Structure 1
Amino acid sequence: MSRKKRDIPVFDQPLIETHCHLDYLKERPLEETLAATRGVNIERVITIAVSPANLATVRELSQQKPWLYGTQGIHPHDAESYTDPCEDEIRSHGGDDKIVAIGEIGLDYFYDNADRTVQREVFRRQLQVAADLDRPVVIHSREADEDTIEILSEFEGSLKRRGVIHSFTSGPGLARYALDQGWCLGFNGITTFNKAENVRDIVRMAPIGQILLETDSPFLTPVPYRGRENAPFYLPFVAEKIAEVKALPLESVLSHTYRNSLRTFFPAG
């Protein structure tokens, strides 16, 4: 089923990297990273926008290879930098061919880098952009489960295409709400961390038909490479861990998560 290449498994079935930050990678040249990523049979990569400063950068990266894609959106850390011109830029490019979602948007009450009232307002504004453009959403939620549910519930009727709550580390309440509403949950290297049993519990409860694979690189490098910069080519370790935690054949996890990614971000196939 797989062969070893630099101790990273290479599967016969392709994978889709649904969440990384290519413009944040520093350890090696981008071309080398992209070559290594293709070398482990990752078919498509989505690089994620987070701030007004990298909206254009993500668009430029998405044009470098046919299999690179991007998003447009402002992370809650930068909510106080969200302006009308910034929203205009997201609206103008949110429907571009190589832009597949609005994100990364949401709430972060762990770091509180932006005022919570501002975070909620900006979250709502960007969900409205996604609804208007009929785009899926990439959501960040940390220590903000109740407010995330409240705000998402306001858009149940208008946001036809859901998306993903990425790097899911929240509680079962948000997980159940999201799953019941048709959202996917994104899991990454955290699933391999020794002390992340709470995340593995959510993996167990989530239907395989609503799980997406991601790395969130350069952050959250999976075991056995913790301590090094994360990269998309470590995604196979996440797939293996999901299969182990859910006690499913690896082939099933690969086929389901691939179809889930297509359905969420590439509905045309």
Structure 2
Amino acid sequence: MPQATIVDSHCHLDFPDFDAERDDVVARALAAGVTRMVTICTRLRLEPQVRAIAESYDPVFYAAGTHPMSAAEEPLATVDDLVALAAHPKFVGIGESGLDYHYTAESAAIQQTSLRIHIAAARETGLPLIIHARDADDDMARILNEEYRNGAYPCVMHCFSSGAELAKVALDLGFYLSMSGIAAFPKSQDLRDIFAAAPVDRILLETDSPYLAPPPHRGRRNEPAYTAHTAKVGAEVHGMTYEDFARQTTANFDRLFWKAAA
């Protein structure tokens, strides 16, 4: 695997999948050229544990929010809650928040309320909003646009796997699209085409580990080191060398996640 510095902009190092070997997982990431990782807290009551992981490893930063699939089960966050977390030097993003109608469409209304709270916190802090969108393209496009008219905010569409129309809405608002292992799956040509059409200065890399391992690890536990496999596919999609694509996506990360900039 080519060696060049890249960033895993979205992983879940607090998940029990990593409990037995978190030190080794971080070490393997560094060995693969993944020099920074953002670990994401999906339920605010778990924020202390996620923060502790970021504090334990120099290359690890963190973000926190209420995942849309948990929005109906968790207390509704407040803007003040999220803004207060942003005081921590290693807290670098708001979320993940968003809309997921695949499994949890019945909680659409509370998901939308939660999303707007997270957007307000991103607007107030200037930290990037981290969006999870699944089977909710129309509502997502509408809310992102409505809220942007109320005031600009930075944003990344994490693990982007939605349609070309939502990609266009996000890019037109100045947002970023994050490429996960899904983009490396053999049947994901439509998604690769969306990334190929996107400006290369608006693309990030991520694993969403422990989920969505790219080939050749598909079907097994994902980990930050495997960002390199997705980066290789991204470089091919954009007709770039691995090193140039790595350099570009790292610069993109530094621009958006300014608190974690190299």
Question: Do the structures match in fold with TM over 0.5?
Answer: yes
| Cα distance change, pair 159–256 in 1 and its aligned pair in 2 (3 A) | farther
Q: Determine the C-alpha separation between the residues in 2 that align with 1:197 and 1:85.
A: 37
User: 4+ residue runs of structure 1 moved beyond 6 angstroms?
Assistant: none
Corresponding residue for residue 217 of structure 1: 209
Cα pair 1:25 1:217 within 8 Å, conserved: no
- Report the TM-score when normalising by structure 2: 0.93
| Cα distance change, pair 84–217 in 1 and its aligned pair in 2 (3 A) | closer
Corresponding residue for residue 234 of structure 1: 226
Match of 1:194 among 176, 180, 186: 186
Structure 1 residue 80 corresponds to structure 2 residue 72: yes
Q: Determine the C-alpha separation between the residues in 1 that align with 2:30 and 2:103.
A: 34
Write the deviation string for residues 197-254 of structure 1: whole angstroms up to 9, x where unpaired: 2211211111111000000000000000112100001111001001112222222211
Work out which structure has the larger RCO, using CA pairs closer than 8 Å and 6 or more positions apart in sequence. Answer: 2
Q: Determine the C-alpha separation between the residues in 2 that align with 1:84 and 1:156.
A: 22
Report the RMSD for the aligned CA atoms in angstroms.
Answer: 1.8
Q: Determine the C-alpha separation between the residues in 1 that align with 2:149 and 2:207.
A: 31
Percent identity over paired residues: 33
Structure 2 unaligned residues grouped into runs of 5+: none
Tell me the CA shift for residue 62 of structure 1.
1.1
Q: Which moved more, 1:53-62 or 1:122-131?
A: 53-62
State the SS of the aligned residue for 1:156: helix
Match of 1:21 among 9, 12, 17: 12
| Cα distance change, pair 10–114 in 1 and its aligned pair in 2 (3 A) | farther
Structure 1 residue identity aligned to 2:52: E
Tell me the CA shift for residue 89 of structure 1.
3.5
Q: Determine the C-alpha separation between the residues in 2 that align with 1:45 and 1:205.
A: 26
State the SS of the aligned residue for 2:14: helix
Q: Determine the C-alpha separation between the residues in 1 that align with 2:213 and 2:151.
A: 32
State the SS of the aligned residue for 1:182: coil
Tell me the CA shift for residue 88 of structure 1.
4.5
| Cα distance change, pair 32–76 in 1 and its aligned pair in 2 (3 A) | same
Q: Determine the C-alpha separation between the residues in 1 that align with 2:126 and 2:44.
A: 22
Structure 1 residue 260 corresponds to structure 2 residue 252: yes
Tell me the CA shift for residue 42 of structure 1.
1.3
- Report the TM-score when normalising by structure 1: 0.91
| Cα distance change, pair 86–32 in 1 and its aligned pair in 2 (3 A) | farther
Structure 1 unaligned residues grouped into runs of 5+: 1-8
Q: Determine the C-alpha separation between the residues in 2 that align with 1:41 and 1:260.
A: 17
State the SS of the aligned residue for 2:72: helix
Corresponding residue for residue 208 of structure 1: 200
Matched length: 260
| Cα distance change, pair 225–207 in 1 and its aligned pair in 2 (3 A) | same
Q: What are the within-5 Å matches in structure 2 for residues 141-220 of structure 1?
A: 141-157=133-149, 159-220=151-212
